[in-house]
Amino acid sequence: MKSVYVLNGPNLNLLGTREPATYGMVTLADIEASLKAKAKAAGVALTFRQSNHEGELVDWIQEAGRAGAGILLNAGAYTHTSIALHDAIRGSGAVVVELHLSNVFAREPFRHHSTLSAVAKGVICGFGAASYTLAFDAILPHLP
């Protein structure tokens, strides 16, 4: 069975209450429920996780790579700073779609650079919670 890990970085546990004008009112639990239904319909195993800790995200990326799973990664602020996540993606061999709820290119200049994009299959941003659905649809043809 094809498998996808959905990995969420720091502060994404606050969705629905954190800066709703930027991130919307949808919670991470809402996104998880929606994706689980979509994955079930597609016959795809879905693992959905969130951590505020960089090392835990590294461990999960490596785990997904060993399992032959694709990864949807919303690394939050680590997108702009984490060489460790970049190296984990490169070393894991997993197909990764980087995603963001907001359009990072329409925000502060420090958000315009990603340390992850160079090792991701693609990037989806700016569509709110629908970014997750778009990323899921985008990764399916690239799963082993």
Residue 96 lies in a domain: yes
CATH number for 74: 3.40.50.9100
Q: Is 100 a catalytic residue?
A: yes
Contact of 60 with 67, CB cutoff 8 Å: no
Please give the model's pTM, rounded to 2 decimal places.
0.93
Given the residues 23, 78, 86, 132, the one annotated as active site: 23
Q: 140 lies in a domain? A: no
What are phi and psi for residue 94, nearest 5 degrees?
-75, 150
Q: Using one digit for the tens of pLDDT, what is the confidence trace for 60-103? A: 999 999 999 999 999 999 999 999 999 999 999 999 999 999 89
Look at residue 139 and tell me if it is in a domain. Answer: no
23 noted as active-site residue: yes
State CA 125 to chain mean position distance. Answer: 11
Q: Per residue in 116-144, pLDDT tens? A: 999 999 999 999 999 999 999 999 999 98
By residue range, what is the domain housing residue 88? 2-120
- Number of domains, the chain: 1
pLDDT of residue 144: 84
In a domain, 143, yes or no: no
**Domain assignment present for 70:** yes
Which residue among 5, 78, 86, 100 is the active-site one? Answer: 100
